[in-house]
Each structure stands twice: as C-alpha cells, then as structure tokens.
Chains A and B, each alone.
Chain A
Amino acid sequence: MADIGSLLCGDDEHEGLARSALQQLSRSISTFAGKSVGFLSSEASIDAQVFGPFCARVLLENGCAALVGRLDAFRMLYLSEFQAQPQYETGKRAKSAFSWAGDVIPEEKTKEMWSVDHDVPKISRALFSSYVSHVFWEPAVERMLDFVSSKTTELDVADLLSLDAENYINSTKGKCLQLYSTLSKGVHWEFFTSSLLFDEESVKSMIRDTLVLVSQLGLISHFIPTAHASLSPERAFDLYCSFRRDIP
C-alpha cells in the first residue's frame, strides 16, 4: 500500500525530536490505514464491523495530530518533551495533553476574526480554526489546485478539483466532527439498541470517508510553505494518487 504515513507526516530527513515524533505517528498512520483499506476492500465481516470504526478513528486522530505537529512545531515539541518528563503520568490526565477539542477542533466563540481587542491565547491555533484556515489552508488549497490541474493522471481527480479554498476548512471540520462522533460510537459500544449497530454500508462508508479526508489533508499540507518536513508537490501528489488507487 502507498505510504500514507509520509503523505501526512512528511519526509524524515530532518534530525531531532520532531523527527522521532513524526516517525512514530507515521508508523501508526500507515498501520491503521492499511487495516482500514483492508476492511474496505474485503467482504463484510465481524472483524470489519468491530475493528473498522476503531482503525478509522485512530487514523483520523493520528493524521490530524501529525498535521498539528507539522503546522505548529512548538506544540509537537512541547508534547514530546512533556511526555518525557517525570511529571507526565500515563494514568493521570494532563491539562496540556493533545486533545481533539482544542488542538484539532477550535473552541472559537467570536465570529469577528480581526480585532485589536483579541488576546493572543484566544486566537485559536487549532488545526481547523478560522485563523489557521486563513493563513495556511486557503492559500494551500489554491496552490494545490493549480498544481493538480496542470498534471495529467489516470486517477479521477474531480473531487480534488472541486474543492473550494474558501469553504475547505469549514467543510472538512464538519466532516471530521461527524466522522469522529460516529466512529466513536463504533468504538465505545454505547449502543443499547441493536437497530443502531453499524452495518456493512455504514462501516465502509465511514472508513472510506476517513481515508479520503486524511489523504486530501495530507496532500494539501505539502502546499503550505511553512509546514515542517514537507515533501515536494510532485512527490506528495504521487503518494496521494498511489494511495487513492488503493481505495475502492
């Protein structure tokens, strides 16, 4: 299977703490993406129903964590350092730990983006915040579109070319929220009614949506000039195409 780990985590040519953190995430992403693609490509099975949502959720979380790390190296390095400290205990919740709500999904209350009254801590650096969207994702989507439209490939890239830079993060955030919530229901087994159990169509649909979503985010991240460990656009697009060919 194509190297989806590198598509999300970038190259591993840079020495240092960031490299080992991203290498670890890359291995995890590749493992869970491989399992997810396997479930998607196979006939319905109990394994797919039980483990499919779990694998897809890990992929979604790890993929987003890798992107947070590459876009905000300080956050990644802080977490790496902190987890090596004696104060970090695995059995105890750390308030500064990586979290879905906060690091990925912003807690934005104000609609007004630009104001002299905004304090720095309130300017969200979450992966899908309006600020990160404005400074990183929107221009990156446009660069990606120009690059992809200049390429010829046998892969149907209509879904990529239809991405709207302005709405990309709003739309991706909405999809992530829905996927995370639904996949979690498959993980937590919180259902007390059997009519809610995920059937093959639901599991496969969720897995596919997750694979497509993280691969698109991974591709676009390499068009952010300040992102850490970015691949060349050609290499990123090759990886993306190889990966998408494996997704039925």
Chain B
Amino acid sequence: MNLQVDEGTDSGLILAAEECPPESFEKFHSFSTNDNVIIRKLSAHGPVLIRGGRGSGKSALLIEAYRRMRAGEAVFPVYISLRYLPLLQSDGPEYIQHFCMLLSEHIQKELSLRGFAEDFPSVSEEIRLQLGLAQLSQNLNRRIVLLFDDAAHIGREKPLEVFFDLFRTISSNLTSCKASIYPGVTKFGVRFDVFNDSTVVDISRSDVAAVPDFFPEVVRARYPKLAQRSMFSDRLSPQQFANLLGRAVVGNLRGFILACNRFLLQEKIGIPEMSKCFLEMAQDYYWPLMDEVAPKLGVYEPLIEPARELIEAIVENSARPVKSGQRTIAQDRVLIHRQLVSQNIKLFEISEYLGFVARREASRAMKSGGRGPVFAINLCSLLDSIPSTRLTNEMMEEWLSGAQEAAEIHISGQAFSSIKLPALVEEHGLAILTKQVSVLGKSSAYPYGLGPNVIDRLRNAGIHTVGELVSKTNEELDRIEYIGDVRIQQIRDVLYQAIWM
C-alpha cells in the first residue's frame, strides 16, 4: 500500500497491504471482531487456508497476524510472499527446489532481523527443509508459523498442486502453515485433502447490514476527513457513505480504497457525488480490470469474454424490471440456479475474483423451483445499467438495508443462453510473458503504464516481450540510455501489476 495519492508515481499499486511501510501498517489498518478471530486462527496451531477475492484483505490479515506473533514470545513467525517469478514458471521438482530455497532464505533473513543467533541452512529439498524447521523450533524453544501470501495464481494451477503437497509435508505440531488463496483455487492435488489437511476460512464483507461498523471504521482510520459529518450533505451520513461504498464494491477493500480516493479533493459529498463515483468506477476501473487480468489467466484467458457476457447478463437481469417499469429499484442480489452456476463455474470464479459479484449465500430455494447460490451484485455496474444512471436516496436505503428480495435466474430462462464456453487448451504458462512490451503502455488497464519513448528504447535494446523485460536486472536496464532509477522503478511497478494478481 502506497500512502501517497500522487498519481504519477503510485503505479496503481497503492492498495496492497504488503507494500505498506511497516511503521505505518498499524495506523492505516483496522480489523473487525471477525477479523480478529481470523488473525487468532492464523496465529494458532494448525494449518489454515484463508480464501478471498482480489483485494479482499487477505494480505493485511496475514501481516497483522505476523506482527502480533512477533510481539509475543511463544511463536517464531515468518511472512513470505510467493510472488516470485521462478515459482510461476516452474513445476514439479524444479518448483520444490525454488520454494525450499526461497523459504530457507526468508527464514534466515527473519532470524537475522530478530537478532537470533541461530542459523537456518539454505536448502533445496523438502526433507532437509522439514528437518531444519524441526531443529529450529527446538533450538528457539518456540513453535513456528509460516504465513504464505499469494500462494495461488489464478492463471497457473499446475504448480499449486505441488505447493499444497509441500504445505502438507511441512505442516507439523511444531510448524503451522497458513496460506492465502483465491475462490477459484480448486486443484489441491492428490495428496492434499482440503477438509482434513487444513481449515478454510472465507473472507466476505459484502453484507454491510450484518457488519455495519467495518467500513466506517476503515474510513476513520484511513481517511479521517471522510468521516467528518461536515463533509456530507444533510441526506448522507458518514456511516451511510462508508457502507454504501463498501456494499457497492461487494466488500472488496481494494475497490473500496480506490473509491474513497476519488472523494479526497471534494469539498462536500452528497448522493449525486456518490452516483458519479459509481459510474466512473464502472467505466474506468471495473471493465478495464478485465483487460488487465485477461493475460494473467493463463489457460483461462479465453474465458474473459464469456465472463464479461455473464456479468452483463446478471446486471441486465436485475435492471430489466426497472427498465420496464415493474420496479423502481433494481435488485442488488441475484439467486442463480445451481446448474447454471456449475455449468459456468470458472466464469463465476473470475467474476468473483474481479469483484463484480460476491457469493452471499451457498444455497437457497428458488420461487420457481430448484436451488442455487445468492450473489451480491456490484452496485457500480448495476447503476451503470439503469436507464436513469442516477443514485437516489430510496435506492441507497434499500440497498443498505439488505432486506430487498433477490432477483432470480432460473435454469429454464434465457439469461445465459448466448454465453458460449470455448474449449481450453493445455496449461502452457502465462500469456502475458509472451506479449510484446507495448502492452505495458499507458491504457485503461495500465493507467500508469510506460510511455511510448520508454517502450521504443526497450525495443531498441533488444527487449521485445514482457518475459524478456522481467528477466532483466536493474543493472541491465540501467545501461539503456535515458532509463535511470525512476524509470526502472516504474517498469518494475508496471510489470508487477501486469504479472501478479
């Protein structure tokens, strides 16, 4: 998380908890009662998988657990981000080797940082890693908690099976493994039984009626100005502002912070300003997100268009009664027949991952027969599809209450009939790495992308693809004329956004 709002330098990475300077972490993060339960679980004995969409706050929870454990004396915690390119590019024994090396380096770094006299060997085999961890725990007289962030990349599933195998192997009474994963992670491999070898904790914040204090608390911590009553019109309270924004982005913290940023220069905030924010978010954040994420989806890249159609169909289904005058307010939740969901499961996972919808209930009986899950719909997209495209006080109150009846999409309906699922090829790595460097240029997907001059200079230096660029060291880039420290950092930031989830 970059705390500056200087658009020229934040490179769109202003929202990641792992980027927050440690000394500012506490000041800018707040945790609900439920978060504290999760943090305690992340600190306790036992393996845990923490599951949530992009920007749902998984990293913040892992880091906070790490911080709290560091303050105590019973545990030796290690936080490690697995955003490490060789892991993304390898599989099988090669993955194991990179993983063991990376983890042992991090453990040694943590030991040095904490001033412990013990050394941890640099190992490349899991058996030596296991032995090293057992020995370390005995020597420190503490149990060990390993917090793996970004363990799953939605576009690369094969190495995940190896990861879960390692997760299971190194978990013991002395070493507890915790990892963050996405809702779409379903391939756990043959040795890992997700129900017996871990406890899965889901992060969901889309129901602001059930937890009405969380988003107002985040605003008070991060944006004190936006928590002042004087900032708002008579018809909008700071509490409503925070909860409506939280509900609009279906509880996604990254989307929430981006939305809040848009109000920082406002002098007064009322319902028209919220309306404007929703519409702008729909146009310049959510739809471009599809383009940004597409090349990171690996084998699932061809599903991005069907996912777009799916979202449009869901939103249209909720907006249609308003268009035809049957309703005055669009339904903000939708109950979809489970057969339709299972037929299009990856599309739903991508939509959830991007924050267009959030699963609210696992299963509910439909009026028209059958059952299915209930999804909360992103209010930015919903408002954008209503003819008036104008938020009203009545909409705000109804959407905040959570009492509105959910729309339904039944198996016999035609809502998804035009969606065609393309055949998927074998997993072959991420498409983004083979794309031309020009894809990193300024665009709606990369608002802080590279200028044409920089792209030309990279090409002239023989760097044509994103894969070639990412493999260059800072020293190699520095040798290119007119590319210095600032540009190198910009290149690294854009690459980070382009490759990682």
Contact = CB atoms under 8 A, between A and B. Distances in A.
Interface of A: 142, 145-146, 149, 152, 156-158, 161-165, 167, 170-171, 173-175, 177-178, 182, 185, 193-199, 201-202, 204-206, 208-209, 248
Given A167-B195, A175-B199, A195-B140, A161 B362 contact: yes
Contacts of A170: 195
Contact of A158 (B33, B140, B193, B207): B207
B147 to A, nearest CB: 14
Which range contains the number of B residues in contact with the other chain?
Answer: 35 or more
B142 interface: yes
Interface in B356-410: 359-365, 371, 374, 403
A145 B363 CA distance: 7
B362 A178 contact: no
B41 interface: yes
A178 B141 contact: no
Contact of B195 (A145, A174, A206, A208): A174
Interface in B134-157: 137-138, 140-143
Nearest to B207: A158
Interface in B8-51: 33-34, 37, 40-41, 43-46
A164 B361 CA distance: 9
Given A156-B210, A162-B362, A193-B174, 6 more contacts: A145-B363, A165-B362, A194-B141, A199-B75, A201-B40, A202-B46
Interface centre among B45, B46, B210 (most CB of A within 10 A): B45
A195 B45 contact: no
A248 B40 CA distance: 12
Q: What secondary structure prevails in chain A residues at the interface with B?
A: helix
A213 to B, nearest CB: 11
Interface in B329-366: 359-365
Contacts of A171: 195, 200
Contact of B364 (A146, A152, A157, A175): A146
Contacts, number: 98
Contacts of A145: 361-364
B169 interface: no
A156 B207 CA distance: 9
A235 to B, nearest CB: 22
A178 B194 CA distance: 12
A234 B22 CA distance: 48
B202 interface: yes
B363 A205 contact: no
21 contacts: A142-B363, A142-B365, A146-B364, A156-B211, A157-B210, A158-B210, A162-B362, A163-B362, A164-B362, A164-B363, A165-B363, A174-B199, A175-B199, A193-B137, A196-B174, A197-B74, A199-B72, A199-B75, A205-B46, A209-B199, A248-B33
B4 interface: no
A158 B360 CA distance: 8
Given A171-B195, A195-B174, A162 B45 contact: no
Interface of B: 33-34, 37, 40-41, 43-46, 72, 74-75, 137-138, 140-143, 173-174, 193-197, 199-200, 202, 204, 207, 210-211, 359-365, 371, 374, 403
Nearest to A152: B403
A195 B143 contact: yes
A161 B75 CA distance: 34
Contacts of A204: 40, 44
A195 B363 contact: no
A194 B141 CA distance: 7
Contact of A178 (B40, B199, B210, B361): B199
Nearest to B33: A248
B425 to A, nearest CB: 30
A156 B214 CA distance: 13
Given A195-B138, A196-B174, A146 B44 contact: no
A170 B195 CA distance: 7
Closest 6 CB pairs of A and B: A174-B195, A205-B44, A199-B74, A202-B44, A156-B210, A161-B361
A205 B41 contact: yes
A185 B173 contact: yes
Contacts of B46: 178, 182, 202, 205
A196 B195 CA distance: 23
A195 B360 CA distance: 40
Contacts of A157: 210
Contacts of A162: 202, 204, 359, 361-362
A202 B45 contact: yes
Contact of A182 (B45, B137, B207, B211): B45
Nearest to A204: B40
A193 to B, nearest CB: 7
